[in-house]
Amino acid sequence: MADHQEPFADVVPVEGGFSIPELKWRELVFVGALRPDGDAFVRDPARPLPPFRRAGLFPEGVRFRAERAGERVVLQPMAGGVRGRPDL
């Protein structure tokens, strides 16, 4: 029987970004799907990203600011956040 993972749905829009539960955040960092990049985090395209119900949350190359807010982590794309693309 093949493993089937339901898309993760607990994503809450916030001003300038979105939040996810801290446990999900820790999972993404632990499996290497998101990795530190200076004072931000970026998606590592070589690592698997679990499915999310809301597509496009972590585009490749975009840098995110991560800040704990209670039991959630707020993620906001940083201005000039795409490496090698200062216009984004």
Q: Is 78 inside any structural domain?
A: yes
Unique residue bearing structure tokens 């070589």: 46
Distance CA 51, CA 53 (A): 7
Asked, for residue 39, whether it belongs to a domain, the answer is yes
65 found inside a domain: yes
pTM (two decimals): 0.82
Q: Is residue 3 domain-resident?
A: no
Q: Radius of gyration over alpha carbons of the chain, in Å?
A: 13
Residue 21 lies in a domain: yes
Is residue 87 a part of any domain in this protein? no
* Confidence band for 7, pLDDT divided at 50, 70 and 90: confident
For position 87, what pLDDT does the model report?
38
Q: What are the tens digits of pLDDT across the range 10-40?
A: 999 999 999 999 999 999 999 999 999 999 9
Domain that holds residue 37: 12-49+57-82
Q: Is residue 88 part of a domain?
A: no
Q: Look at the chain and report how many structural domains it folds into.
A: 1
Please write the tens of the pLDDT for every residue from 32-67.
999 999 999 999 999 988 889 998 999 999 999 999
Q: Is residue 73 part of a domain?
A: yes
